[in-house]
Structure 1
Amino acid sequence: MQEALATGPGPAWPGCAKIDRGLRKPRLRASDPLIISAAIMASRTPEDAIVQARRPLSPHLQIYRWYASMMMSILHRATGIALSVALLLLVWWLVALASGPDAFERVHSLAGSWFGLLVMFGITVAWAYHLLNGIRHLAWDAGYGFHPAQFRRTGMIVAVGTGVLTVLVWIAFLIAR
């Protein structure tokens, strides 16, 4: 016979379950949330279980208050993705360099156009932000910077440092050019 979880007058402690050997239909009481969760999740989809157990659904993004730390976390991930795409552009440049002067000239002329310079500027911003925020994450891994005041201060340092580092890199680039 199929065993099911049920509660009844038998358990010595509240919230404990006894095994129903199939002699009667399992009964679930609202006072036993763990038993309800186990029984509902075993027989239905997760969405049905949430509705059955009368649990709140996860809030949508419109409900959240956007904090600077939330935005910085999202930007850190986005800059990581952008740097992965930039790595593909670097590989394209290296393949063109190995392919000969005609292929290299095409890539070099595209990189020197206003669009190419704009892309390289964006890559520089992504690199600077990801670098500085990565250092911030290393400090967190060491256990530093979790106080809310330190959290905000290091976030501001990363934001301002990104701008300063980007400008310094581009000044060096323009001087070397």
Structure 2
Amino acid sequence: MAEPKRVERPLSPFMIGPYYRPQMTSISSIMVRITGIATLGTVALLVAWLVAAASSESLFASINWLLTSLFGDLLLTAATWAIWYHALGRLRHLIWDLGYCVEVKANEVMGLGMFIGATVLTLVTVIVV
């Protein structure tokens, strides 16, 4: 009996490179997952700040110094962008669940709008707060 011929195919669209051309829809979906994980890390850092405030003055001073330094400002600004992007991604999924904007062109526009919207909302947040 002859062996079946196996065809080499990519295993997943996340094999970005020679097998898969990135699209706005895939990149925005991947970014929603990344920003969700980044938001979890930010929450952990803020909880550590609160625990330090409740436990030790020296520990609080260390974590507070980190969060109020230039690095902390950049970190919290990036975290703000991640929170806004993730929130817009959830809104996009709600719109899809309602049956709207499911066409490819609308998805591409919404993906680009998420990047622009998160950036604008982050700038507004940084300026207001």
State the TM bucket, normalised to the shorter chain: 0.7 to 0.9
- TM-superposed CA distance for 1:104, in Å, is 2.0
What is the aligned counterpart of 1:87 among 39, 43, 53? 43
Matches within 5 A, 1:79-158: 79-158=35-114
User: AA paired with 1:90?
Assistant: L
Count, aligned residues: 124
List gaps (5 residues or longer) in structure 2.
none
Higher helix share: 2
Output the amino acid matched with 1:53.
P
Structure 1 counterpart of 2:20? 64
Q: CA RMSD in A?
A: 1.7
Superposed CA deviations along residues 70-127 of structure 1, whole A, max 9, x for unmatched, are 1111111111111111111011011011114332222111111111111111101111
Runs of 4+ more than 6 Å apart = none
Q: Which of 119, 122, 125 is 1:166 aligned to?
A: 122
1:54 corresponds to: 5
1:65 is displaced (CA, Å) by 0.9
Among the aligned pairs, what percent are the same residue? 35
Structure of greater relative contact order (alpha carbons < 8 Å, 6+ residues apart): 2
Whole-Å Cα distance in 2 between the matches of residues 57 and 141 of structure 1?
Answer: 35
Distance 2:109 2:53 in 1: 43
Alignment-mate amino acid for residue 21 of structure 2: R
Q: What TM-score comes out, normalization by structure 2 length?
A: 0.86
SS at match of 2:85: helix
